[in-house]
């Protein structure tokens, strides 16, 4: 499957119409294609809104009616006919209609819940895409700033890290390449070194070996930065020896 083909799968992905193999391939493509990520999120949100427009919440009286009828209808064993007080067999159509009523109620509730879940998931995806776009713009602003200064370092196992600082924007960006995947339940955490006091600057994405990350917080009080291995949610202070320490470029 070519890259051009992948660009055409946003609609099918939004409607969950891809095979498992196609979905995995397309999600790998999404990680590096902002245009497809945004389009997929917007299409998912639209699909969810359409689903909500056609769904409805059953009236409370319907639920009460079904629950009341359930208490008065005995379950029929296989091959057994249910006889009402009159002693005459109940037509099969009437039996089926009772179960159809319960099934319709369950289906209505389920579909309504599914539409709401899809809507919330689509809204979350759209919000994530918007955040990613905003972060990308902030990263680009630092990397292209007239006063941007950089410093590179080699890390363990062939990984590299480059820190880019813009004094005018008071921000720093870390560009990492070939980072080894952290152990399960762990993540790489970034730190600013404020004259020996370590200040958290954010977490790296544990699922990506190559990434550019806007460090959290101002850079003007820091003389350096470091990377440590921490629990997945991060730590208030470093709990392990630094994997890398770098002085910020002047």
Q: What is the pLDDT of residues 196-219, one digit of tens each?
A: 899 999 999 998 888 888 999 999
pLDDT at site 20: 82
Phi, psi of 58 (to 5 degrees): -65, 150
Q: Are 143 and 164 in contact (CB under 8 A)?
A: yes
Q: Within 13 Å of residue 121, how many CA atoms lie on the same side as its CB?
A: 16
Contact criterion met (CB below 8 Å) for 213 and 222: no
Measured in whole angstroms, how far is the alpha carbon of residue 237 from the centre of its chain?
27
Instruction: List CB contacts of 134: < 8 A, sequence separation 6 or more.
Output: none
d(CA 39, CA 18) in angstroms, rounded, equals: 16
Give residue 53's pLDDT. 42
pLDDT value, residue 160? 87
Q: Return the minimum-mean-pLDDT range out of 102-116, 137-151, 187-201, 229-243.
A: 102-116
Look at residues 124, 139, 213, 207 and name the one whose alpha carbon lies nearest to residue 176: 213
State the average pLDDT over residues 126-135. 66
Reported confidence tier of residue 118, pLDDT bands at 50, 70, 90:
low
Residue with tokens 């007239």: 146
**129 sits in which H/E element:** helix 92-143
Structure tokens given for 225: 């930065």
Is the pLDDT at 116 greater than 80? The verdict is no
Tokens of 3: 């890259």
Is the pLDDT assigned to residue 179 strictly greater than 70?
yes
Q: What is the chain's mean pLDDT, rounded?
A: 74
Q: Which of 218, 219, 214 is nearest to 203 (CA)?
A: 214
pLDDT per position as a tens digit, 181-192: 999 999 999 999
Nearest to 225 by CA among 189, 192, 199, 201: 192
Q: List the structure tokens of 67.
A: 């629950």
| pLDDT at residue 92 is higher than 70 | no
Q: What is the pLDDT of residues 20-50, one digit of tens each?
A: 888 888 888 888 888 878 776 766 655 554 4
Q: CA 39, CA 130: separation in Å to the nearest integer?
A: 11
């Amino acid at each position: 499957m070519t890259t051009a083909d992948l660009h055409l799968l946003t609609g099918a992905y939004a409607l969950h119409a891809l095979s498992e193999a196609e979905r995995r391939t397309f999600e790998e493509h999404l990680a590096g294609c902002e245009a497809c990520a945004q389009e997929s999120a917007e299409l998912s949100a639209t699909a969810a809104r359409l689903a909500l427009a056609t769904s409805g919440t059953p009236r409370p009286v319907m639920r009460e009616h079904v629950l009341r009828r359930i208490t008065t209808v005995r379950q029929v064993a296989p091959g057994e006919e249910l006889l009402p007080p009159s002693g005459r067999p109940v037509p099969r159509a009437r039996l089926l209609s009772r179960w159809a009523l319960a099934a319709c109620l369950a289906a209505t509730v389920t579909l309504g819940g599914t539409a709401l879940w899809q809507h919330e998931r689509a809204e979350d995806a759209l919000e994530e895409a918007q955040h990613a776009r905003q972060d990308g713009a902030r990263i680009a602003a630092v990397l292209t700033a007239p006063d941007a200064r950089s410093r590179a370092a080699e890390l363990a196992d062939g990984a590299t890290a480059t820190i880019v600082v813009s004094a005018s924007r008071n921000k720093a960006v870390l560009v990492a390449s070939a980072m080894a995947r952290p152990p399960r339940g762990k993540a790489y955490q970034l730190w600013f070194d404020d004259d020996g006091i370590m200040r958290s600057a954010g977490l790296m994405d544990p699922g990506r070996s190559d990434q550019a990350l806007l460090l959290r917080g101002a850079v003007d009080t820091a003389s350096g930065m470091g990377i440590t291995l921490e629990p997945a949610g991060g730590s208030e202070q470093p709990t392990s020896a630094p994997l890398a320490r770098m002085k910020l470029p002047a």
